[in-house]
Structure 1
């Protein structure tokens, strides 16, 4: 058996792949968070709740409505995105002209309310969602047996991240989006409806979180607290990558997932804190993050 730094290659390779699954969730969640902050300047503490609601939509679609996983994959982003648009239109929009701290406190309060409601209706024991029949089974990679569904999560998450990055950074739509958030007065003068851009941006960021929730539902226990447990790590990912940097969030999420996987083999006790140790080091060296810029 081959070893690297005294550790079996098979164990390291297996944990790297499992870490890449976690990294895919980090990347997809931090992508939505980075879009909302980068475009709107909102530190969205309700982002974890959007992830949790997306997972619960998948659970309710399968257990109550008899819909399959693929229907939930389409339904959850639409429902959660629409819910986020309602929140933006009725609550957040009233606070744009005052200190951003109030937006942060509002989203934090909304997250607490949503978690309380879901705990009341669904309990705290957790629920499970079945893996779709098309993605059941596993493939033997030689050094480990990898469930096909986890491979799907990695590929689908990375694809969504790259398509979103391309749409925001490389297309005319993305140019209009960035212009509307960076200089709304001038953009409005060209006849572009800036409030509508803001609305769709917030809804789109929430829809990405819901999509991640559906991806996670067959892997994680679906509970009201699943979003808040993950949100603190996702915030660390966004800070390390650079607040508002879309590409930074994607790359940082994937890399940190891999580093977590390595830590579970080399020093398991540090696996849960490695992200925060890296965040401290990055902030000491570059306070705006690796890919961040001064706002």
Structure 2
């Protein structure tokens, strides 16, 4: 502790923001789907893993990371459209546990399919050449790729906010989340909106997968731990709240980073302790609406 300085603390906070960026993207997808469809998507981690594997495959073909950043969310989003249309949609209006159990089983099917196609061992995904190295932030040197991750997440969140708040389709999505019956009366096909939302949520999960791939080995099981962490972030922020997903994602990332500095063995436990503390004070989460799960 004698070597602890203000610069080190600030650098660790920036590290937490970079880690939280992945949590933000995952939680946004979960919150978007739940807030509109009231579907607890337990296959979200599998879509995250699928984005990483699709990124590895496409990068092998194109050798262009930027092209992969465009194609991966489109590909995983398309898969999400198929899942919503043929598997999830027949369960609307039924008990909330039905789509939960469906997506839980679907996640295992995706994992086993990837194991069959790519094997059990992890696949390394190198940091793109243009994003290697470190930059001086004035408080110390910070990996360039992690800084890119923070900026990319900010751009994605801003773009999503503009889409939801400033476009006609975003207005329909917000209205459908509040009262789908009124939207139907106005002659709008709510089913198409649900399809779009599910595809958008899964596409963002796929994008977070390829963004996380250079930071860890790409394995069939990589989506399992992040799914638990993403649900913690979603619960802390409030189920269905996009603002909550952003705030809680960054908060969880910083908590993990700071805990890793002072007590590394408690880093994973710290996020669950944070969730318990928040739920004791606000059972609906920081920005959640009471009774949303009922």
Tell me which residue corresponds to 1:12. Answer: 9
Per the normalisation by structure 1, the TM-score is 0.94
How big is the shift at 1:178? 1.8
Tell me which residue corresponds to 2:134. Answer: 138
Q: Does 2:82 align with 1:86? A: yes
**Unaligned runs of at least 5 residues, structure 2:** none
1:176-234 per-residue CA deviation (whole Å, 9 max, x = no partner) reads 11222332222122121110000000000001111111111111111111111111011
How big is the shift at 1:105? 0.2
Separation in 1, partners of 2:10, 2:182: 52
Tell me which residue corresponds to 1:29. Answer: 26
Q: Does 2:145 align with 1:176? A: no
Matches within 5 A, 1:57-136: 57-63=54-60, 65-136=61-132
Tell me which residue corresponds to 1:258. Answer: 254
1:258-293 per-residue CA deviation (whole Å, 9 max, x = no partner) reads 111111112222111111001111111111001111
Separation in 1, partners of 2:80, 2:133: 36
How big is the shift at 1:242? 0.5
Q: Does 2:52 align with 1:42? A: no
Which of 219, 233, 237 is the aligned partner of 2:233? 237
- For residue 25 of structure 1, give the secondary structure of its aligned residue in structure 2: helix
Contact 1:139 1:148 in 2 (8 A): yes
- For residue 209 of structure 1, give the secondary structure of its aligned residue in structure 2: helix
CA RMSD between the two structures: 1.7
How big is the shift at 1:78? 0.7
Tell me which residue corresponds to 2:208. Answer: 212
Contact 1:181 1:194 in 2 (8 A): no
How big is the shift at 1:140? 2.6
Tell me which residue corresponds to 2:155. Answer: 159
Separation in 1, partners of 2:138, 2:170: 43
Per the normalisation by structure 2, the TM-score is 0.94
How big is the shift at 1:142? 4.7
Tell me which residue corresponds to 2:283. Answer: 287
Of the structure 1 ranges 21-30 and 7-16, higher mean CA displacement relative to structure 2 is found in 7-16
Separation in 2, partners of 1:293, 1:39: 13
How big is the shift at 1:170? 4.5
Separation in 2, partners of 1:208, 1:162: 13
Number of residue equivalences: 291
1:71-122 per-residue CA deviation (whole Å, 9 max, x = no partner) reads 1111111110010100111011110021010000000000001011111222
